[in-house]
A and B are shown apart, each in its own frame.
Chain A
Amino acid sequence: MIQYRDEIAKKWHLNMVVGQNVKAIQEKRTFPDSGIPRIQCCGNLKTEALKHTLSGEWPRMKYDHKQGRYVQDDNRDAYTGVIVGVRADEEGSRSKERYFSPRDKSNEWDIGDQPPELWNQFKTDFAPGTHLRIHPLLDWTELNIWEYIDRENIPIIDLYFDHGNGKRYRSIGCAPCTGTVDSTAKNVKDIIEELKSGKFSKIAERAGRLQDKEDGAGLESLRREGYM
């Protein structure tokens, strides 16, 4: 996945900025090494990493197209918003998201008091210091995504395809917590057919993502604190 990310960045000359919870990785505060629960590992490697990378507190690496490698990003300014590809049909807490979702300074999400969205009018006025998440794909479905990939010929990572053992990934995350599904789909068209056939109509897209199952509302807790 990292290889795919870097190839795309190179090819399209993207301004690619990455961040990591270096300390947690060094200290092995991760699953399964340390024996901590999966959710806690997600918290360390994703929530914390995202929060501190966005705020500029932790160093950021930036792809230098001239040198062909990542170098430390001199810019330490906080990002005031991020555009995220989450969708309402992925899991419970995402089904309650807004297109324009303000978060407070520490990225926390107040689910009970979200801005109303009606008639294509969204919250676009913000008090200074607001951090914003924008979810443009909120009402897309898994099928919509694949049909769009097909229509626009978007390059994707081949972990989504079956390589002859009758298994493929339907949702991709960290290796220790991502499982495969039984499928013989070998290309985008196959996947579209598979989704349309109803084969997965009773299996959640993120069924292979084991952290979702760890605690009844684990993902929601993570998302309140800033997980994607």
Chain B
Amino acid sequence: MANETSREQMNIVVVGHVDHGKSTVIGRLLTDTGSLPEGKLEQVKATCERNSKPFEYAFMLDALKDEQAQGITIDSARCFFKSKKRNYIIIDAPGHIEFLKNMISGAARAEAAVLVIDAKEGIQENSRRHGYMVSMLGIKQVVIAVNKMDLINYDQVRFESIVKDFTAFLKNVNIVPRAFVPISAREGALLIEKSPNMPWYTKLSLLDTIDSFELEKPPEDKPFRFPVQDIYKFTAMGDDRRIVAGRVESGTISVGSDVVFLPSGKKSSIKAVEGFNIPEKSKAVSGESTGFTLNTQIYIRPAEVMCSAGEQLPLVTSLFRANVFWMGHQPMIKNKKYKLKLATAQTPVWLVEIKNVLDASELSSVANKDVIERHDVAECIFQTFKPIAVDLASDFPATGRFVIVDNYEIAGGGIVLDTMGVENKLLEDHIAAREKNWERSAITTGMRWGRFGQRSTLVLIAGEMNTGKIKVAKALEQELFNNGRLTYYLGVSNTLLGIDSDMKVQGERAEYIRRLGEIAHLFTDAGLILIATVSDLDDYELDVLSKLNKPNDVLIVNIGEKRLSPNKVDLELPVNPDAVQAVAEITALLQKRNVLVEYYL
């Protein structure tokens, strides 16, 4: 919104160990900048008096009953305060380890962070942990407030010692703080104004340091990234537009630009920028939620990333190295299926290797750990079922950061450090193990082919929903059966895989494909011609099916528009084909491939 407000607005988060005074810092900032609602200060003071509690600035923002009762912050609260320079939304993040995921929710919204350390207690476990989290969450502007200086008589030597130790720690986690400011939130020292108690500190006060932070600019000059959220199809009143919808995460794109979709690699160019009730426009920039129409009709699905053809492209990978932090009640374990959500992609993911786990209390690495426990930060290797388009988090946060879902809950967050290719190690290992453990009888594949007069094959009929796939499949089964062939139409595949681009089943689809591959393998291994229909099959899924069905063949028939690459398709048919004609073409192809041996010839 262009006319939103004349004043700048910035989100900052206040983090640190429990009881180091985060809420007091915020309460004092709110009070001293005159940002509190009228009467609030008097009201809080009166409440304290009534309950015979000494007044504390922290009471200004403990919004929840439990927080008031326990005197701790449970969830990240948002408060609003103004300096002369700009408006702030200030997020008070809980310092108690129990509420780490609430701290993360709060900090993830912030552009800058204030990390509070108690001068008397010094650096504590959550000082380090929060420092690390701030770094992982991608917050680059950080100020360290060394609080409660009054408790150590405003001692410069002790302050400098904390600066030295914590600077060294922060360097390890790639944070260069803007400043260390010695403060006393309770006494109001160096919060806003200089303090007569600390004449030795000549740099900016805490508020002035915060004011010196800069607003993040949308990354317009970076390569273009547009994770596809959905494809809008219109049918009303002859409107046949297909709008590729999503949000521009970085860069700029103009009408006429060549684009490439990853991971599929499909190409087209921008025809128009689309939006509801907007004037015609020729380009879209970072931060815009918008849509595009393309010059050529190509088949793409949500979760692909649209990029500009001439620019640096994301990496396509199914094996990658990442740093993750774990918030789940259950530890993260190997060989369990989780769900990965990265930009608009959702895909099954497995933890295959834990390189090391960081111990936040000591910040030392622990190797040889077998699981990632709650509140651990770990470097590990992940395997996705299908290749996905990712960037390194250091280059493109929006397509380089992900969350992991365990049993309905977001249980982990991670940043991509490195990619390691598209091999599906789990699938290859599985097939190798299956072959090794498969108990074979004396009846060989060749013997079966000879007996049945056919080479076992999987006939896959692909294409969009409602294009006549089932009708062709049933007619083919009938024809082959009538001619004495051993054949079976696997109707269940249609039920399992027939649901169109519903995001809910995106994660499940991988499992169905795997199951279909295993079922197909059983049938074809037994010598049958198995017929199955699959909606919206892509190259990668076909590759998985073919691998699982090995050593037997796959014949691909595509009806209508195709998502598969042209060289993958053996026979193309129009939408709702004439069944007799279609069956004739398929059987001709089966004969040509020597699937159907003709005895009488």
Contacts and interface: CB of A to CB of B under 8 A. Distances in A.
A121 interface: yes
Contact of B1 (A112, A114, A147, A202): A147
Contacts, number: 108
Interface string A168-193: 00000000000000000000000000
B388 interface: no
Given A114-B105, A204-B37, A121 B410 contact: yes
B77 A116 contact: no
A147 B440 CA distance: 74
Interface size bracket, B side: 35 or more
Given A92-B63, A95-B63, A116 B68 contact: no
B231 to A, nearest CB: 19
A202 B80 CA distance: 11
Nearest to A121: B403
B62 to A, nearest CB: 8
A188 to B, nearest CB: 12
Contacts of B402: 121
A217 B105 contact: no
A167 B37 CA distance: 20
Given A88-B78, A92-B63, A123 B341 contact: no
A115 B1 contact: no
Contacts of B65: 216-217, 220-221
A88 B97 CA distance: 24
A125 B37 contact: no
Given A121-B341, A151-B1, A196 B63 contact: no
A117 B503 CA distance: 19
A93 B64 CA distance: 6
Residue from B38, B102, B104, B137 with most neighbouring chain A CB atoms (10 Å): B102
A198 to B, nearest CB: 9
Given A96-B77, A116-B105, A151 B66 contact: no
Nearest to B408: A125
Interface string B388-403: 0000000001100111
A89 B101 contact: no
Contact of B76 (A91, A96, A119, A143): A96
Contacts of A123: 408-410
A147 B66 contact: no
Interface string A113-135: 01111111101111100000000
B1 A89 contact: no
Contacts of B405: 125
B403 A118 contact: yes
A92 B37 contact: no
B68 A118 contact: no
A111 B66 contact: yes
Interface magnitude class on chain A: 35 or more
A101 to B, nearest CB: 12
Contacts of A144: 1, 4
Contact of A98 (B80, B105, B401): B105
A202 to B, nearest CB: 5
A77 B102 CA distance: 34
Given A92-B63, A217-B65, A196 B108 contact: no
B74 interface: yes
Interface in B399-458: 401-403, 405, 408-410, 413
B412 to A, nearest CB: 9
A116 B6 contact: no
Given A125-B408, A196-B6, A221-B65, A96 B403 contact: no
B469 interface: no
B596 interface: no
B358 interface: no
B64 A202 contact: no
A134 to B, nearest CB: 15
Contacts of B37: 202-204, 207
A12 interface: no
B104 to A, nearest CB: 5
A95 B108 CA distance: 15
A151 B408 contact: no
Contacts of B36: 202
Contacts of B99: 112
A114 B409 contact: no
B34 to A, nearest CB: 8
Contact of A119 (B3, B78, B397): B397
B5 interface: yes
Contact of A202 (B38, B47, B341, B408): B38
A115 B3 contact: no
A93 B63 contact: yes
Contact of B105 (A117, A125, A216): A117
Contacts of B486: none
Contacts of B398: 119-120
Contacts of A203: 37-38
Contacts of A112: 66, 74-75, 99
Interface in A203-218: 203-204, 207, 216-217
B409 A96 contact: no
A117 B405 CA distance: 12
Interface string B539-572: 0000000000000000000000000000000000
A96 B34 CA distance: 23
A116 B75 contact: no
Nearest to B62: A92
B339 interface: yes
B327 interface: yes
A217 B64 CA distance: 7
Interface string B86-103: 000100000000010110
Given A114-B105, A216-B65, 10 more contacts: A114-B102, A119-B108, A120-B398, A125-B408, A144-B4, A147-B3, A196-B5, A201-B82, A217-B64, A220-B64
24 contacts: A89-B80, A93-B64, A96-B64, A111-B75, A112-B66, A112-B99, A114-B102, A114-B105, A115-B409, A116-B102, A116-B104, A116-B327, A118-B105, A118-B108, A119-B397, A121-B341, A125-B339, A125-B405, A125-B408, A126-B408, A139-B89, A196-B5, A216-B65, A220-B64
Ranked nearest first, the 3 interchain pairs of A and B with the lowest CB-CB distance are A92-B63, A118-B108, A116-B101
